[in-house]
């Protein structure tokens, strides 16, 4: 874990210095989130558990990653930084392994609410290898890149969650949750094309 921490801490937030939280969302942050998620995707698939962590900004303007913690099948409690001078700027977590009846290809309403509450951006990796960014300001999940752009669970079946748009507002996610699991979306998808 130490090696992991050091590798990520070596990636600096260019010369922006102590950027304001809003200015921190740039390609460096996204790249660090991508690497952090990539490193735990396979463990997440084999254990069927979520893995999570935080990305913080040091007073020197460097981005630093907390080691990923193993969570539950559905849920994971990221811990902040012991050093209180490190400002948390983003959370990251995986969605475990592929389950046909679990709507894990999109961030959950709770994911959006949690990041909004903590005022941090969120990054989510799905079993299908989708990479999402949660913008805590607009409470919107935006697809950074689609199926297979992060490691993908070999058991993943494309299309099991129906059509997934590239952006989902919190309201969209609430509606999606109300409809039921992925099977409900598959059905909608099929009907729409009949
Ligand atoms: Zn989640």
Percentage of the chain lying above the pLDDT 90 cut: 72
Counting the structural domains of the chain, the total is 1
131 alpha carbon – ligand 1 mean position (Å): 12
How high is the pLDDT of residue 6? 33
50 alpha carbon – ligand 1 mean position (Å): 8
Q: Are 28 and 13 in contact (CB under 8 A)?
A: yes
How high is the pLDDT of residue 115? 97
How high is the pLDDT of residue 43? 97
How high is the pLDDT of residue 89? 97
State pTM to two decimals: 0.84
93 alpha carbon – ligand 1 mean position (Å): 7
pLDDT digits (tens, 9 = 90+) for 135-186: 999 999 999 999 999 999 999 998 888 889 999 999 999 999 998 778 788 7
108 alpha carbon – ligand 1 mean position (Å): 5
194 alpha carbon – ligand 1 mean position (Å): 32
Under-50 pLDDT residues of the chain: 1-20, 188-194
The string of DSSP codes covering 99-158 is: -TTS-TTS--HHHHHHHHHHT-EEEEE-TT--EEEEETTTTEEEEEE-TTSS---TT--T
The Cα 165–Cα 40 span in angstroms is 25
Q: Near ion ligand 1, which residues have CB within 5 Å?
A: 108, 111
Domain that residue 132 falls in? 2-192
How high is the pLDDT of residue 68? 95
């Amino acid at each position: 874990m130490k090696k992991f921490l050091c590798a990520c801490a070596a990636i600096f937030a260019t010369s922006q210095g102590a950027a304001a939280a809003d200015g921190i969302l740039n390609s460096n942050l996204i790249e660090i989130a991508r690497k952090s998620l990539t490193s735990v995707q396979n463990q997440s698939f084999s254990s069927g558990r979520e893995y999570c962590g935080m990305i913080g900004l040091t007073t020197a303007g460097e981005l630093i990653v907390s080691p990923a913690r193993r969570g539950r099948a559905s849920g994971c409690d990221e811990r902040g930084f012991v050093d209180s001078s490190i400002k948390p700027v983003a959370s990251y977590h995986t969605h475990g392994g592929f389950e046909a009846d679990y709507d894990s290809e999109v961030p959950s309403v709770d994911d959006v609410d949690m990041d909004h509450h903590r005022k941090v951006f969120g990054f989510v990796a799905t079993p299908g290898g989708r990479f999402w960014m949660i913008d805590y300001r607009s409470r919107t999940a935006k697809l950074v890149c689609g199926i297979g752009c992060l490691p993908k669970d070999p058991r993943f079946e494309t299309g099991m969650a129906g059509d997934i748009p590239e952006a989902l507002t919190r309201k969209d996610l609430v509606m999606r949750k109300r409809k039921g699991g992925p099977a409900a979306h598959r059905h909608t998808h099929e009907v729409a094309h009949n």
